[in-house]
Amino acid sequence: MSGEAATPWAAFPEQGSDSVGDIVGDSVDIGDSTVPDVPGVPVVRDIAVSPDRIVAVADVIEEQAKALERKVTEQVGALNIKAPADDIVSQEAAEAWNAVVSHGENSYASRVMAYVHGLQGLADQLRAAGRRYLSEDDGNAAALGDAAGG
């Protein structure tokens, strides 16, 4: 195996860098090769969930969705173009533009509206999760109170 590289990194062409650490940044030197630092282990944390905060987030998402829907509805007409001439090329080009941008079920305008409806669905899901969390939390508190004799 004469002529083969001594380290795996030697097989890559030299471009002014002696090691992977020079390319990646912070590194640890292990013998004759350099490897990137390994990230730390994630820490388990308790997450405090407040149902009223969930509803507030849902309200913000819904508000933004409504604003986007209004803007698209108001401006979609400005995206339409009319054929600049009566020739077939101009007419076909204008028709194709309008189909891609503002008309049809696969147009950009339709995709944006689908996104808006997705945001509204997300807001509904968050509200339902907040209600469910609140009722489960109340039920758990009552069960704990009963178990403690209170």
For 93-107, write each residue's pLDDT tens digit. Answer: 999 999 999 888 889
Rg (CA), the chain: 30
pLDDT at 9 over 60: no
**Residue 58: strand, helix, or coil:** helix
Supply the pLDDT for residue 22. Answer: 46
pLDDT bin (cut points 50, 70, 90) of residue 18 is very low
**Residue 35: strand, helix, or coil:** strand
More confident residue, 112 or 41: 112
Residues facing 35 on adjacent strands: 28
Identify whether the C-beta of residue 19 lies closer than 8 Å to the C-beta of residue 33.
yes
pLDDT at 12 over 50: no
